[in-house]
Every structure is written in structure tokens, then in C-alpha cells.
Amino acid sequence: MMIEEKKILLCIEDFKVNNAGGDLTKQWFVYYNVEGKRYKKYGKINSFHTKAARMRAAKELILVLVDIPVTIKIKKDKLFEELYEYLEDNKGFWRKKTYQSVKSKLDVLFEKVNGKLTQVRIQKFFKWLSVNRSMTTYNHYHQILKFLLKGINKTQLLDGIRRVKAHKIPALYFQKHQVNRLKKYISEHDPQLWLFIKFIFYTFIRPGEIRQLRVNDVLFEEAKIIVRANVSKNKKQQYVAIPNHFINDLEHLKYLSPNDYIFKSKRDFSKPIGINTMSSRHRKILNKLGFGIEYKLYSWKHTGAVFFIQNGGRVKELQIQLRHHSLDQVDAYLRQMGITDLDDLRINFPEI
């Protein structure tokens, strides 16, 4: 086996502050645990001489650390080496996003197996998937792993593991009481993530598009945001409205450089935040608060659409904000969410 370095991205929940019981004569520090090992970071915390100042410094240090992956060393099995090598050999045949999707799933398998890749361990991995992931995701892992194992002539490792019947179910939207609970927790523990969520809720811009938005994409005078062609999923430049309830949250952008990313990497300010950074931080919070896998970062888009319609919004305006091509497409989207024009029926249906 060879030793490989693996990078793990933590979220704010993983960091704790050791304040030495409030004793200013002792060293305070931020700490986190990875693979059973504790890591300490002191930063400039102890250069301050009041409890409040030290705690502020500790929280600021956590915000810096949260986007810096922790590097750990783990052993890589020979079969895993062959799989990763085959993946890299075929990298040029895939779109960048496809390659990243395949690699991320192989990374999850590598992390969960945590040792020698055997048929029994693969079976246990798919059993874990059946409990912790959707059936659609289960089948996607099966498809990708079958392709990779075929490439190294080891498809027999999948013997006895079959695809399952699956119907693609959209992420659930959050109900009002759930929104209130999440708003309180996330706005307090991860303000940057809460701002990211507001972009999704109010503008319906996709997470992958939001991370690439720059300050000059926000048109304050027109109360619009440009989703440029090089950012948009359909490669067309489009505009979305900034609702009145959201415009004040963007005021701080007026004081930044126009070319700055709104959500930029803390390691390199010239680059946007990582592709999975926000979804990873969001997922960890959902797990902590007991929300199942049917809730996702994308749930906030569905929540915004549902709340808009329930508040009397017009479907045509929703279509434009969603950047959908037709009202039929919007109707199908809302029906997936369980939103139908049945209020009159519900109220007026006669008693038996």
C-alpha cells in the first residue's frame, strides 16, 4: 500500500474554542478533530487581553480556517491506485463537471472503505448507500463503479449488487417553521452560508452559478442581477430581479472591487469559493439538526418558489425569475412540489 494525502473540508460546526475556563493568563486556542486526532490553532487570539476580544479573534480565526482543507495521510490499496489511475487516463474524454462527479464518488468509496477494496466491503458500502442516500444516487454510484471496475477488469467485485428501481424525487422544500429554525441557527453560526442561501431563495440562481457571481453583476439601480453566459448553466446571459426584502443584504458589495467574486476563496481571493464548499457546510448543519437526505441546499430554491406562490405571486413572474422557457414547465415544477390550484376545492368540498 502507498501513502496518500487526503484533503478534508470542515464546516464551522467542527471547530471549538478552548478558552481555558476564561483564564487570560493561559493560552486560548481553536481546535478540531479529524480521524481521532486533535489539531490546535492559536492565530493571534492570545495577543488580546480581554475575554470578549479573545473570543472575537477566535471566531475570526474559525472563519479563516473553515475554507482551508485539512490534509491527512492515509494508505491507498493497490486496487484503488488502479481505479484512480484509470480515472486520470480517461479525464480528457469527459467534461470537467463529469470528471469531478466521478472522482467525488470514487473519493467517497475510498473514504468509506478505508482500507483494502474487497467484494464484501463494496457490498457493505452499497448497503450504507441504501440507507443514507436516495435510490437515484445509489444507481449512479453503481453505474460509475461498474465503469471504473470494467476499465481495470475487476467487474466481478460487483457480483450480486444490482441496480434498484428508483424514481427521481426533487429535494423537499422547507416549511415555514423549519425555515424559522434554520434561519436562527445558520444566521448565527454561519452568516456567509446564510447570505448564500438568500441568493438561492430570493433569486433562484443555481448554487454553481452563485459562486461565480462577481460584484459588478449586481445592478443596484435596476435591482437586478446578471447571470452571464459564461456562468449560466444554459450558456445564455439572463437577468433576475432582486426582491425588496433582499436588496439591503447586498449593500456591503458597493464598497468592494467590481471584479471581486461575491463568494471568494479564503485561500486565493482571485478565485471563487470551492464547488462543494457551501453544500458541504449546509449538509453538516442539516445533519446536526436532524434533517434527512431529502432536504438539500437546492431545497431553498424550491422553498422560495413555493412561498412566492403561496403569498399570491403570479406564475408568469415566477417563470421569468426561474428562467424557465414556458408556463407548462413552471406548472410541472410546482406540481413536483405539491403546489396545485386546489384551494377552492379544499375549502368548498361538501361534507358527506
pLDDT tens-place string over residues 164-223: 886 666 788 999 999 999 999 999 999 999 999 999 999 999 998 999 999 999 999 999
Which range of 26-35, 71-80, 155-164, 180-189 scores highest in mean pLDDT? It is 180-189
Query: What pLDDT score was predicted for residue 350?
Result: 63
Q: Which CATH architecture has domain 176-336?
A: Orthogonal Bundle (1.10)
- Which residues touch 147 (CB under 8 Å, ≥6 apart)? none
Q: Cα separation of 86 and 152, whole Å?
A: 7
User: What is residue 72's predicted lDDT score, i.e. its pLDDT?
Assistant: 66
Q: What is the pLDDT of residue 132?
A: 78
Q: In this predicted structure, what is the pLDDT of residue 221?
A: 92
β-bridge pairing 37-41 and 29-34 = antiparallel
Sign of CA dihedral 226, 230, 231, 234: positive
What 3-state DSSP class applies to 266? Answer: coil
What's the mean per-residue pLDDT of the chain?
86
What is the average pLDDT across 47-57? Answer: 93
Domain assignments of the chain as residue spans, ordered by start? 2-73, 77-158, 176-336
Encode 288-314: b = buried (16+ Cβ within 10 Å), e = exposed: eeebeeebbbbbbbbbbbbbbbeeeee
**What is the per-residue pLDDT across 311-352, written as a single tens digit (0 to 9) for each?**
888 878 888 888 877 777 777 766 766 666 545 555 665 666
d(CA 268, CA 9): 16
pLDDT in tens, 89-128: 888 888 777 888 888 888 888 878 877 888 998 999 999 8
Cβ–Cβ contacts within 10 Å for residue 149, how many?
A: 20
